[in-house]
């Protein structure tokens, strides 16, 4: 097994600055830098997955790739049969947003 290379240490330190970890977790990673290239590669992969890009375009691209964007094209309108509350949802499978009742009726019918 080969020793960790300097560029890997630098990459780990720079990615840690972009990760949303608490200070204790970052300190723990700093204090236990991997000793082999393979361990460093695994840590770099994990940090790359967890990091938050600085550029908004890169943030958007990452959200698209990870399928984490929330749809905002609300297309289902409902009314609750129990409390009378009406609301719009992007999902067909929903509960009343006021009383959490499953007894709802779609107004789109």
Residue 99 DSSP code: T
Q: What's the domain count of the chain?
A: 2
Q: pTM for the full model?
A: 0.59
Cβ contacts of 50 within 8 Å, gap of 6 or more: 19, 20, 21
Q: Please indicate, yes or no, if residue 15 is contained in any of the structural domains.
A: yes
Count of positions (residues) in the chain:
109
Backbone angles phi, psi at 79, to 5 degrees: -135, 140
Considering the domain architecture, whether residues 26 and 60 belong to the same structural domain is answered as: yes
Q: Please indicate, yes or no, if residue 48 is contained in any of the structural domains.
A: yes
pLDDT in tens, 26-55: 999 999 999 999 999 999 999 999 998 999
Query: What pLDDT is recorded for position 89?
Result: 80
Block residue for tokens 């019918």:
109
**Residue 52 and residue 18 in contact, taking contact as beta carbons nearer than 8 Å:** yes
Q: Please indicate, yes or no, if residue 71 is contained in any of the structural domains.
A: no
**Residue 3 and residue 33 in contact, taking contact as beta carbons nearer than 8 Å:** no
Residue range(s) defining the domain that contains residue 83: 76-106
Query: What pLDDT is recorded for position 71?
Result: 60
If you average pLDDT over every residue of the chain, what do you get? 88
């Amino acid at each position: 097994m080969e020793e960790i290379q300097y560029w890997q240490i630098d990459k780990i330190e720079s990615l840690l600055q972009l990760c949303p970890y608490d200070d204790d977790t970052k300190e723990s990673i700093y204090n236990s830098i991997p000793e082999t290239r393979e361990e460093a590669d695994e840590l770099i992969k994990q940090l790359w997955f967890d990091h938050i890009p600085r550029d908004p375009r890169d943030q958007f691209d990452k959200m698209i790739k990870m399928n984490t964007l929330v749809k905002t094209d609300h297309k289902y309108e409902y009314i609750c049969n129990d409390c009378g509350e009406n609301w719009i949802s992007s999902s067909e499978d929903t509960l009343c947003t006021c009383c959490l009742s499953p007894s709802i009726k779609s107004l789109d019918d």
